Amino acid sequence: MKNIKVLMSGCKCSQKFYELVVKTVNEHGIDARVEKVDDIMEVMQYNTMTLPALVVDGEVVARGQKNESELLSLLA
């Protein structure tokens, strides 16, 4: 099972990205747990200045908005 974290701020763009990640995981049957991370101290541990960011199994794999096909290629 993959451990996916969406690093996010409180903006609507980040929330929309989180929802797209959850939708992509569910619709494509990806074995993963998706977690929303909006605590600034935890976000800072990943050393990224661009949010939202996507972390898969502890590694930042994407920064900024992505569409569903881009997410699928990152998560599959």
Structural tokens at position 24: 């992509």
Calculate mean pLDDT across residues 17-34. Answer: 96
| pLDDT digits 0-9 by tens, 28-74 | 999 999 999 999 999 999 999 899 999 999 999 999 999 999 999 99
Q: What is the pTM of this model?
A: 0.92
- Residue 41, domain CATH: 3.40.30.10
The yes-or-no verdict on residue 11 having pLDDT over 90 is: no
The total number of structural domains that make up the chain: 1
pLDDT at 48: 92
Range of the domain at 49: 2-75
Confidence band, pLDDT 50/70/90 cuts, at residue 76: confident
List of long-range contacts for 56-60, beta carbons under 8 Å, 24+ apart:
56/2, 56/3, 56/4, 57/2, 57/3, 58/3, 60/7
Closest by alpha carbon to 30, among 56, 51, 8, 49? Answer: 56
